[in-house]
Amino acid sequence: MGSLGTFLRYPDDVYPLLKMKRAIEKAEKQIPPEPHWGFCYSMLHKVSRSFSLVIQQLGTDLRNAVCVFYLVLRALDTVEDDTSIPTDEKLPILTAFHRHIYDTEWHYSCGTKEYKVLMDQFHHVSAAFLELEKGYQEAIEEITKRMGAGMAKFICQEVETVDDYDEYCHYVAGLVGLGLSKLFLASGSEVLLPDWEQISNSMGLFLQKTNIIRDYLEDINEIPKARMFWPRKIWGKYADKLEDLKYEENSTKAVHCLNEMVTNALTHIEDCLKYMDALRDPSIFRFCAIPQIMAIGTLALCYNNVQVFRGVVKLRRGLTAKVIDRTKTMADVYGAFYDFSCMLKTKVDKNDPNANMTLNRLEAIQKVCRDTGVLHKRKSYINDKGQSYNVYIIMLVILLAIVIAYLRAN
């Protein structure tokens, strides 16, 4: 759950971590008895514990649809990500994937670890898909078809321009945003704004660009072939080859490139805030808001941080637990985006070539948050007064948790 040193440094993480641990245990015990649904929810826990926790907020029918949608797209993504698959074999799989989801006998062996299990036993996902209501099936099929075609396009095309970057992110994530909006509409829980396609797309692009930035080192070191999603139009200003950014002698230019990538991602935030502000159903709101807050938090950590090119940069588990526990209203969302944008702002170096552009983006985000007039209601994630709690009280909480765990085990 976390080290003692981390607990002492962030004592207010303890209670949310305990709640999250209990919630995960509860979710794992609620696996449906039917083999195909049992496989789907068990696999969901394995490929994304945080997502599987957030999805539990949704009503049963919508939860099942989102679970299947997520696994179908994870399977499609597994095919795209597997660089060992020859291109002439991969392309027809991607473009026909929307038909495979109707075939309970189809499977394709690729990927590693839990993703290989997902692909080898994909017939369970197909069986679950076929039990969904027609409206859910049509939305999932349409998005899968469009995403597969887009992925196929970029198998044969590198990300050169910023427009290419936006287009690629649209295919692999913006379409997820559109698909989720269609599922929410089909459930009868939400209505769509006139510009729903644009702001749904932005919800996906913001998350995807955050992942692409954070995962630079993992992607560039992919075997047998590097995966390169940063647009040449940006990284070409700082290096001859994208992989050169990981070398220590290029650290200054690498960080400048990273900061321009983060600044590009920030352009989607105002659309994201508009999308979330329009949601009516509390469970759908939390489902959408929690990943967005984690994304802005991740960008705040990545910005001006050379560690992105050396290892893994991610939110500490306790902060993730606080986001999941405390995100209830738009006041919480505006507060989180305001706080993390303030944190990011303190890291802007005036000598960075994109400093003015970054500051302008951050000030625009902060203005949107301030203008709502709800910041005084926010629950802070990064400036928590709980830091001043007596360490002995925290130690008592930890001791009680250990005792409770021992009693439950016996």
Supply 125's token pair: 């996902």
* Beta carbons of 17 and 392 less than 8 angstroms apart: no
3-state secondary structure at position 323: helix
Q: Considering only CA atoms, which of 133, 106, 130, 136 is closest in space to residue 118?
A: 106
Distance CA 97, CA 48 (A): 22
- Torsion, Cα 4 5 10 11, to 10 degrees, reads 40
Distance CA 324, CA 58 (A): 14
Question: Residue 266: what residue type?
Answer: L
Supply 8's token pair: 């002492």
Q: What is the number of H-type helices and E-type strands within the chain? A: 21, 0
Question: Residue 153: what residue type?
Answer: K
Supply 105's token pair: 């006998």
Catalytic residue ranges: 168, 214, 227, 287
Distance CA 232, CA 242 (A): 8
Q: Which residue has the tokens 């939390």?
A: 286
* Beta carbons of 182 and 174 less than 8 angstroms apart: no
Does residue 32 have a cis bond before it (omega within 30 degrees)? Answer: no
Supply 82's token pair: 């597997």
DSSP state of 350: T
Neighbours of 6 (CB within 10 A): 16
DSSP state of 230: S
Instruction: Give Cα 270 distance to the centre of its chain.
Output: 18
* Beta carbons of 14 and 393 less than 8 angstroms apart: no
Question: Residue 95: what residue type?
Answer: T
Distance CA 22, CA 355 (A): 43
